[in-house]
């Protein structure tokens, strides 16, 4: 019985994360925020040259993160390729191609995003990517 509950929860968690990606492609930030806990911890690795990199806590700061992305870059491609759900985590492997608005430099970046969920809401997010290439595009 426990195995069945774990599989069901993992599938639900994966659906929540897929919903976040669907909202992102529609630029529906409200739809993303609805899937986060009030005190969510959000971390995008990278140096301060990347305006949206860093640690944030709470939905309001995550909203600010998405506004900074909108001001900073334009996506040509944003593609989650694989979803791996295990216990309370959903790992997403993907890639993106974008241009930095200020420099007009293009970036191709492979990334891994790790979402931790509790009671159907994201409580922690961490993104790993090629921060050196991204930071260089902002110079």
pLDDT over 80 at 41, yes or no: yes
Annotation: CATH topology of 2-137: Nuclear Transport Factor 2; Chain: A, (3.10.450)
pTM for the model: 0.92
Q: How confident is the model at residue 6 (pLDDT cuts 50, 70, 90)?
A: low
**Which residue from 124, 128, 111 is spatially nearest to 35, judged by alpha carbons?**
124
* Residue that the structure tokens 């968690």 belong to: 13
**Which residue from 45, 49, 48, 65 is spatially nearest to 57, judged by alpha carbons?**
65
pLDDT over 60 at 51, yes or no: yes
Q: How far is CA 95 from CA 23, 57, 75, 98, 120, in A?
A: 17, 25, 11, 10, 25
pLDDT in tens, 77-109: 999 999 999 999 999 999 999 999 999 999 999
pLDDT over 60 at 1, yes or no: no
pLDDT at 5: 57
pLDDT over 80 at 124, yes or no: yes
Domain residue ranges in the chain = 2-137
């Amino acid at each position: 019985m426990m195995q069945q509950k774990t599989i069901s929860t993992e599938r639900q968690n994966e659906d929540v994360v897929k919903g976040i990606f669907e909202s992102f492609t529609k630029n529906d930030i409200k739809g993303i925020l609805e899937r986060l806990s009030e005190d969510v911890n959000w971390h995008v690795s990278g140096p301060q040259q990347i305006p949206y990199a860093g640690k944030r806590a709470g939905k309001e700061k995550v909203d600010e993160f998405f506004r900074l992305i909108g001001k900073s870059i334009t996506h040509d491609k944003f593609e989650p390729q694989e979803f791996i759900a295990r216990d309370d985590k959903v790992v997403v492997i993907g890639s993106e191609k974008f241009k930095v608005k200020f420099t007009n430099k293009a970036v191709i970046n492979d990334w891994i995003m790790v979402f931790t969920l509790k009671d159907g809401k994201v409580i922690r997010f961490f993104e790993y990517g090629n921060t050196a290439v991204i930071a260089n595009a902002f110079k």
